[in-house]
Each structure stands twice: as structure tokens, then as C-alpha cells.
Amino acid sequence: SQKIEQNSEALNIQEGKTATLTCNYTNYSPAYLQWYRQDPGRGPVFLLLIRENEKEKRKERLKVTFDTTLKQSLFHITASQPADSATYLCALDPRTGRRALTFGSGTRLQVQP
Amino acid sequence: NAGVTQTPKFQVLKTGQSMTLQCAQDMNHNSMYWYRQDPGMGLRLIYYSASEGTTDKGEVPNGYNVSRLNKREFSLRLESAAPSQTSVYFCASRPLHTEAFFGQGTRLTVV
């Protein structure tokens, strides 16, 4: 069956360090992979999209990698700040079939000052 | 520019009652979605509408119905609420293969 795995344990890091979050998937062939941020009591907010033929995408302090052979995406936040504390969700966008995003369960990031 | 608007924000229902969650978007998007979010489960797709006039089941459609009233509006109906439907419900919209825009969510409790 199709599965998307994100580390369910919270990630705690010190301010200024790089946070790295992992998204692994099985039995999917996504055309695109997206990352979202979700704050408590709010809806998810889009951060980055990467296509299957792209290896890496950057936006300011954010970087996403996409390895379709390993079936894995890594999401990096450099020079992390307490304001980056939130839950981060990865989402797969299929090439065919159901035209809807499928989400992982998310990883909570806590940046300590 | 309001984006995606959901109503109500909070609701408490008794088992067996019915209600409709409303969602409207003002971005002229073709695709609209309803997800539910439970602790540790992430967002699970209930129903979606790829375009006006079409609706399709998602991962967890049982106990729900939807209506794509027009391009702007996509409603979710619970005909006979059950405690298992206690959850936070999110509506989203997007053009195909791009970012999704989410509403603020509806926190539903069924007692």
C-alpha cells in the first residue's frame, strides 16, 4: 500500500543550527513533492515545491532535495530561529490517478533560543 | 483577497445530528478538497472536486457527502454525525500541480 513517512518524534535544535527533516515514501510515483508549514490551530501554508526531475530547490533559508531512487525528500532550514518552530508536512502530488495531494503526518520542529 | 474561507470555525454536534461545512474560494481555482486532521494521522483526504460539476471519493469518504455548488463553493455534509467524526476539517483549493491554499479549519466535536 502507499505510504508516506515523516519522523513522528519532535525535532529539537538550537537556534542558529540547521534543521533537517525527512520524508520517505513507498509505492508512489509522484510528479511533484511539496512541503508545508502548519502552526497550532491554523491551516497548512505552502513553502516549496520540487518536481521529479529536479534534485534540489532553494528559497531563502529553505532547501529541499528530492531523490526518486531513494524515494526520499529532505527539507533543510539553515540558521534556524525560534520563529521556525512549527509542524512541517510533506505532500506528494501524483502523476496519474487521483489528482489530490497526499500528506505525511508531519514532524514538529522546536527551535530553542 | 480572502483566499479560502470556511464556516463555521467551531461546532459541537450530538450523535445523529446533521450539518454542512461550508467552503468558498475566491482565487478561481478548478480543484477543491476536503481533508480531516486527527492527532498523529496527518491530513486525510475525504472528497475532492477536480473541476466544477465533478466530485470524487478520497481516502476516508464514509459518512460524508459533498456538493460542488459552483466554481467557488464546495460543501461537506455529515448526514448523521458519529463520535468518530470528531476532528479538524480543512478545505483547500489549487490549480492542478501547484500549491494548495487552505482555510483556517473547522473544529468539530461530536458528543
Q: Are the C-beta atoms of residues A63 and A42 closer than 8 Å to each other?
A: no
Distances (CA, A) of A31 to A88, B44, B83: 20, 19, 37
Per DSSP, chain B holds a count of helices (H) and strands (E) of 0, 11
How does pLDDT run across A21-65, given as a tens digit for each residue? 999 998 888 889 999 999 999 999 999 999 999 999 999 999 999
- For residue A79, the model assigns a pLDDT of 98
Inter-chain residue contact B102 with A43, CB threshold 8 Å: yes
Is the pLDDT reported for residue B1 higher than 70? no
- For residue A99, the model assigns a pLDDT of 79
Instruction: Tell which residue, A88, A89, A85, A74, has the closest CA to residue A14.
Output: A85
- For residue B107, the model assigns a pLDDT of 97
Distances (CA, A) of A6 to A23, A52, A89, A91, A108: 5, 19, 8, 10, 10
Grid cell 502552526 in the structure block, residue: A39
Parallel, antiparallel, or unpaired: how do β-strands A3-6 and A19-26 relate?
Answer: antiparallel
- For residue A30, the model assigns a pLDDT of 85
Nearest-angstrom CA–CA distance, B7 and B22 = 5
Closest by Cβ to B97, choosing from A32, A42, A105: A32
Is the pLDDT reported for residue A7 higher than 90? no
Q: What is the mean pLDDT of residues B75-94?
A: 97
Residues whose CB is less than 8 angstroms from the CB of residue B47 and which lie 6 or more positions away in sequence, other chains included: B33, B34, B55, B56, B57, B58, B61, B64, B66, B76
Inter-chain residue contact B99 with A99, CB threshold 8 Å: no
Grid cell 486525510 in the structure block, residue: B44
How does pLDDT run across B32-48, given as a tens digit for each residue? 999 999 987 889 999 99
SS3 A82: helix
- For residue A29, the model assigns a pLDDT of 83
- For residue A27, the model assigns a pLDDT of 85
Inter-chain residue contact A98 with B56, CB threshold 8 Å: yes
Nearest-angstrom CA–CA distance, A111 and B5 = 31
Running DSSP on this structure, what letter comes out for residue A18? Answer: P
